[in-house]
Amino acid sequence: MRYISTRGGLIPATFSDILLGGLAPDGGLTIPEEYPVLAPGELAGWRGLPYSELAFVILRKFADDLPAEALHAQIDKTYTAAIFRSEDITPLTPIGDSVWLLELSNGPTLAFKDLAMQLLGNLFEYTLLKNNGCLNILGATSGDTGSSAEYAMRGKRGIRVFMLSPHQKMSRFQTAQMFCLQDPNIFNLAVRGVFDDCQDLVKAVSNDAEFKAHHRIGTVNSINWARVAAQIVYYFKGWLAVTTRDDQEVSFAVPSGNFGNICAGYIAKRMGLPIRRLILATNENNVLDEFIRTGVYRVRKTDQVAHTSSPSMDISKASNFERFIFDAVGRDPVVVRELWRQVDTHGFFDLSGTDAFRAVARSGFVSGSSNHQNRMAIIRWVCQQTGRIIDPHTADGVKVGLEYREQGVPLLCLETALPAKFEESIVEALGRPPERPAGYENIEALPQRFEVLDADVGQIKDYLVRHTS
């Protein structure tokens, strides 16, 4: 399998070539030259496979340049009951008649990002050790991504993580989760400022190409291809768990922000998994819902992004969306470049009435959005029905999923975080906090390790220089 860029400027590359990278050199996103398509009977042969075996047969199609044993070893090391607190890795819980939660949040940071990030940590370490390399990951976080990256990279040889977060602006639980890590390769930098300041600082450092190269600075944001690839696996796992016939269709409801999670579902469908609908759910920041309904992709300015009670979906633009649009416009990089030029100059593009937009509907996408009141009502409803407490992001997905539910079609709602991460919202909805998983009871009381810095590029660079040599 070879990888190209959505903007046409990448000489076809292997999985290993693009594994550690972010954006392609031409500013586009990397994507397989062709999606692998399942052979007749192949899916039937996967029934009953444990998660790690299933992950191997799927990911081998995308990472065919790694030695099979090495890939297998990294996957086996990743998807264990010890790390994901369940033999199934992604178990199902019924929440209604033919409606399930696909539990994706039992990993170390209690959010679905662990499923991909934990594998990424192992693949990064393997690749760096093989090439005698090292990598200094610089990132900015308002919560989920940063902790997921730190828990995936902690203790890994050849890797350091420098994670900027807004000083005293994350929830106590999220802060504790990150700052309690004592691993010497993890550096928590609390920046006096807001999340956007952190992001600007990362950009400023990354734009200094010489500094970046000299100090081997890299990223692990959601555009990383391997993260999308690893997420494809649980769509197969979920489908296999609720079907008995090989042509049976299933719909998935996906709480969406940067379009990474649902992009993986779309690719699973392209590979031949019988997915009926991909139900895209947003919160009040409805950039993607607007596109699916109207064909207009209109990014928001930072000050137009609402701060909601499902904060990991508070986005101004959807960084993985370009992968999907590349397919929708017939894989023409000239068109993709023109569309993103329009986004850069006018803030939007409009595909309404075009073949590209008809292709979007044909791909099975439908969408909806929800607001704070909807989330609260859904959390209460699911709890009344089943005794189960879901988190506000998952509630966005369940709300929109139920709107598109069809007789006879199993509906899998992706659980993207555990409620313990968002205690305040649960108390508001139910009048009591959710239970915490074992080991997280007193996380706020653990000793914390972090450094406070000003929102100043000079200070950040200076810190990096002192800690990367």
Ligand X SMILES: *Cc1c(COP(=O)(O)O)cnc(C)c1O
Q: Choose, by CB under 6 A, the member of 127, 221, 256, 283 that binds ligand X.
A: 256
Considering the rule CB under 6 A, would residue 15 count as an interface residue with ligand X?
no
Considering only 20-28, 244-252, 255-263, 446-454, which stretch makes contact with ligand X by CB under 6 A? 255-263
Q: Does the active-site annotation cover 113?
A: yes
Task: Rank residues 269 and 393 by Cβ distance to ligand X and give the closer one.
Answer: 393
Footprint on residues 407-426 left by ligand X (CB under 6 A): 416-417
- The minimum distance between CB 263 and ligand X, in angstroms, equals 7
Q: Is 248 exposed, middle or buried (0-12, 13-18, 19+ CB in 10 A)?
A: middle
Q: Choose, by CB under 6 A, the member of 126, 239, 259, 349 that binds ligand X.
A: 259
Considering the rule CB under 6 A, would residue 257 count as an interface residue with ligand X?
yes
Query: Considering 61, 77, 113, 203, which one is annotated as catalytic?
Result: 113
- The minimum distance between CB 308 and ligand X, in angstroms, equals 11
- The minimum distance between CB 246 and ligand X, in angstroms, equals 28
Rg of the Cα atoms in the chain: 21
Footprint on residues 265-294 left by ligand X (CB under 6 A): none
Alpha helices by DSSP H, 65-189: 68-78, 81-84, 113-130, 144-153, 172-179
- The minimum distance between CB 416 and ligand X, in angstroms, equals 3
Q: In whole angstroms, what separates CA 424 from the centre of its chain?
A: 23
Considering the rule CB under 6 A, would residue 139 count as an interface residue with ligand X?
no
Considering the rule CB under 6 A, would residue 260 count as an interface residue with ligand X?
yes
DSSP helix/strand/coil, 447: coil
Give the H or E element holding residue 163: strand 159-166
Task: Rank residues 77 and 388 by Cβ distance to ligand X and give the closer one.
Answer: 388
Beta carbons within 10 angstroms of residue 363's beta carbon? 16
- The minimum distance between CB 133 and ligand X, in angstroms, equals 28
Q: Note the maximum CA span of the chain.
A: 61
- The minimum distance between CB 433 and ligand X, in angstroms, equals 18
Q: Choose, by CB under 6 A, the member of 144, 200, 322, 327 that binds ligand X.
A: 144
CA distance 247 to 243: 9
Task: Tell me the helices (H) and strands (E) count for the chain, helix number first.
Answer: 20, 15
Read out DSSP for 177-220? HHHT---TTEEEEEEES-HHHHHHHHHHHHH-HHHHHHTTEE--
Task: Rank residues 91 and 143 by Cβ distance to ligand X and give the closer one.
Answer: 143
Tell which residue, 233, 268, 219, 201, has the closest CA to residue 462.
201
Considering the rule CB under 6 A, would residue 261 count as an interface residue with ligand X?
yes
- The minimum distance between CB 144 and ligand X, in angstroms, equals 4
DSSP 112: T
Q: Choose, by CB under 6 A, the member of 28, 146, 255, 419 that binds ligand X.
A: 255
Bridge partners of 452, per DSSP, are 190
Task: Rank residues 43 and 360 by Cβ distance to ligand X and give the closer one.
Answer: 360
Considering only 157-165, 206-214, 257-265, 338-346, which stretch makes contact with ligand X by CB under 6 A? 257-265
Tell which residue, 432, 318, 417, 424, has the closest CA to residue 367.
318
Considering the rule CB under 6 A, would residue 111 count as an interface residue with ligand X?
yes
Beta strands at 296-298 and 348-350: parallel, antiparallel or unpaired: antiparallel
Q: Choose, by CB under 6 A, the member of 313, 325, 395, 426 that binds ligand X.
A: 313
CA distance 53 to 246: 19
Footprint on residues 364-393 left by ligand X (CB under 6 A): 393
- The token duo for 434 is 């959710």
Residues that bind ligand X (CB under 6 A): 111, 113, 144, 222, 255-261, 312-313, 393, 416-417
